[in-house]
Amino acid sequence: MERRALISVTNKNGLKIFAKTLSNLGFEIVSTGGTLKFLLENGINATPIEKVTGFKEMIGGRVKTLHPNIHGGILYIRDDKGHENEISSEGIKPIDIVVCNLYPFQETVMKNPSLEDAIENIDIGGVTLLRAAAKNFKYVTVIVDPSDYDSVTKELLEKGNTSYETRKELCVKAFSHTADYDSAIDSYLSEILTKNKKLRLSFDSGKDLRYGENWHQKARFFKKDTVEPSASNMKQLHGKALSYNNYLDIEAALNAAKELSQYNAAVIVKHLNPCGIATGMTLLDALKNAWDGDRVSAYGSIIALTRKVDLETASFLKGKFVEVIVAPSFDVDALEFLKNKSKDLRILETGKLFTSENKVYKYLIGGIIEQDRPKGLYEKWECVTNEKFPDSKKDLGLFTIIATKYTKSNSIVLGMEYEKGQFKVLGSGVGQPNRVDSLKKLAIPKIYENLENMWNEEKPNIDKETFFKEKISECVLVSDAFFPFDDTVRVAAEHNIKFIIQSGGSIRDKEVIETSNKFDISMIFTGMRYFNH
């Protein structure tokens, strides 16, 4: 019995070869408008749809496939005698394959068209074809994506028909496509016609996690399509399944690593906060110095690296417990070493690091917040004190701003240049209700702890107090927001901190600047805040 395929597409990529294959396999091809013209011009026999429906395309092409001779041939149940008799008595032939993709509505509205142009790009017949074919997937093959031509061709040539498993997958793909399409129309018309802004997000490939944030909570991870390297698309090379907390920490580590991707850099994260960030002449240098930022917190951490991991870098982790290592790629011997280090260590490969997503979201009970991704490091670079901020400190300042952006507010971060052009976080205070505590109670003790380690290991020819003062005097302090009072500046001065970067914008800026001048501190206003909640 002759088989029929209906083809009506806007995207003609790969169509010529696929349609020729169908024709060679004995399919009668029924087609419409521009698709029919394309097929005939390429020497492929095709039947105009009006010969099947008995009607010409009507009202400017708005009606062409909406007819019982089409939808009866798609929707009837092949092993239902009543359906078969009804179809036969009406002279309707079966349609076994439907190839359709839709008017480019999403692409059209991105160009800010008139309402009339947007509405003309709302597909009616195509959506109906897809839904009808997908509904009857037990018997009908529906193709919405040209990337599926090859797999369908392979099955038709080898088996004479598509498999039930393939038709199930294509069915879901078609319904997903029409759901996204209708969602785009709904969002656009809601805003244009009723001034109601809607946000519809789509996630799939949901998988159960071992547990959630705590053992008694269930959790799942759902993916969203993105080209940007992320927890949703990286490749796991080794180790046990990722946990809820792993996903969050990986996101935090990757965000900072992407911003440092021009360097050999290492980011070590624990509970969403970087406990160590550094750049280096080599990746190993970066990892060593990031680890030295907080050797205690680095235990059980997430590490993100910006370059291919070599064996020397991997070997640094011998005897050190970490949960996850994320990097663009791994040398074969480095990967083997890390695999042998622990059967549970998660090793994740991202490919080249870059950013592409422009929006970020926070889910709340009963709502969601959408905001622009926090891009940029400063809106201005204004020295507001008598003591000038040297150009030689700017790169260190920018590195420390990046580190500050990815710590939880309120936060203070001190960065140091440990070698010419190479930077690391010497200490930080994060997640505090007030900024002075971030410096006084957290960052300062951590700085002295790390300097103590450095003094013991370097064994310099100066006394410890002088060593500490000299090292701190060369650091840059970055605050995630303005100083509401001058108390943070006073604490900084007590510990010989000479360079401060903050947003500015406080009603007491004048007081803060005066106090900075009193202690010969150089201060930059960036005009940009780095809150991270």
If you search the block for the tokens 């507010």, which residue do you land on? 409
Residues forming beta bridges with residue 31, ordered by sequence position = 7, 48
* Residue 177 annotated as catalytic: no
Catalytic residue among 135, 224, 240, 339: 135
Catalytic residue among 20, 271, 320, 339: 271
Sign of the dihedral through C-alpha 407, 408, 409, 410: negative
- Cα 119 to chain centroid distance, Å, stands at 31
Residues forming beta bridges with residue 207, ordered by sequence position = 221
CA distances from 149 to 83, 162, 296, 371 (A): 30, 11, 55, 39
* Residue 135 annotated as catalytic: yes
Number of Cα atoms under 13 Å in the Cβ half of residue 218? 3
If you search the block for the tokens 């009603």, which residue do you land on? 507
Q: How many CB atoms lie within 10 A of CB 500?
A: 26
With contact defined as beta carbons under 8 Å apart, do 416 and 424 qualify?
yes
With contact defined as beta carbons under 8 Å apart, do 505 and 531 qualify?
no
Question: Which H or E element spans position 348?
Answer: strand 346-349
With contact defined as beta carbons under 8 Å apart, do 288 and 363 qualify?
no
DSSP one-letter code for 406: T
Question: Which H or E element spans position 426?
Answer: strand 422-429
Amino acid at 72: G
- Whether omega before 85 lies within 30 degrees of 0, making that bond cis, reads no
Question: 290: phi > 0 → left, psi -120 to 50 → alpha, else beta; which?
Answer: alpha
Residues forming beta bridges with residue 325, ordered by sequence position = 303, 347
Supply the residues annotated as catalytic: 135, 271
